[in-house]
Chain A
């Protein structure tokens, strides 16, 4: 069974630029999460989807972050414009309805 796929693995951008991350969850997993992990900290939930609907985006900085899962499968997370403090690893995870979430390898973003 293929795992959660994320791309790109690494991205370096200048502040005020925009960036997008892509995630393909495990086949059949209805729930998809985007987490932000700052160096030295645990993952922090940004947004949770159930199929193509948003379940929780209470910690998503909506003035600059957006996410979509139009067909209930793949998802994209966008930052526009990026700030220095957005430097982090962005993790995508999915689950089939249980709490056990499976994670991708993450995208490491560096904003300079």
Chain B
């Protein structure tokens, strides 16, 4: 089945720094989703992408649908303490509306 690989697995940054992470797929995707998960909570949808090359922002977050349709990128500008958490990419697996997830990028911010 489809596999999603996220990079890096973890990041340790200073408050105020910009963050970049990416996700690659073993097959072509038509949709990319980015979620954030706080400790003890379920994942929360941040951004949805539907077209190759699409660039979408949500506040300080910007995500891009790679033109090869096998990758996606998430950037966070001017990080703040509440950005701490685990960021997951997700996309359609084989089958009707099946959603598969990457292994996550854990973001830690030093004040």
Which residues of A are at the interface with B, using a C-beta cutoff of 8 A?
4, 31, 33, 35, 41-45, 48, 50, 55-56, 91, 93, 95, 97-106, 108
Contact = CB atoms under 8 A, between A and B. Distances in A.
Contacts of B44: 103
A18 to B, nearest CB: 24
Tell me what chain A mostly uses at the interface: helix, strand, loop, or mixed: strand
B48 A100 contact: yes
21 contacts: A31-B97, A33-B99, A35-B101, A41-B104, A42-B102, A42-B103, A42-B104, A45-B98, A45-B99, A48-B98, A55-B97, A91-B42, A97-B97, A98-B97, A99-B31, A99-B48, A99-B91, A99-B99, A102-B45, A103-B43, A104-B42
Given A100-B45, A100-B48, A103-B43, A42 B95 contact: no
Contacts of A45: 93, 98-100
Nearest to B32: A99
A105 B41 contact: yes
Contacts of B95: 48, 55-56
Contacts of A43: 43, 88, 101
A31 B92 CA distance: 14
Interface of B: 4, 31, 33, 35, 40-45, 48, 88, 91-93, 95-104
Given A56-B98, A104-B42, 5 more contacts: A42-B101, A43-B101, A98-B97, A100-B48, A103-B35
A98 B96 CA distance: 10
A59 B96 CA distance: 15
A42 to B, nearest CB: 4
A43 B43 CA distance: 9
B85 to A, nearest CB: 13
Contacts of B42: 4, 91, 93, 103-106
Given A56-B98, A105-B42, A106-B42, A99 B92 contact: yes
Contacts of A33: 99
Contacts of B91: 99
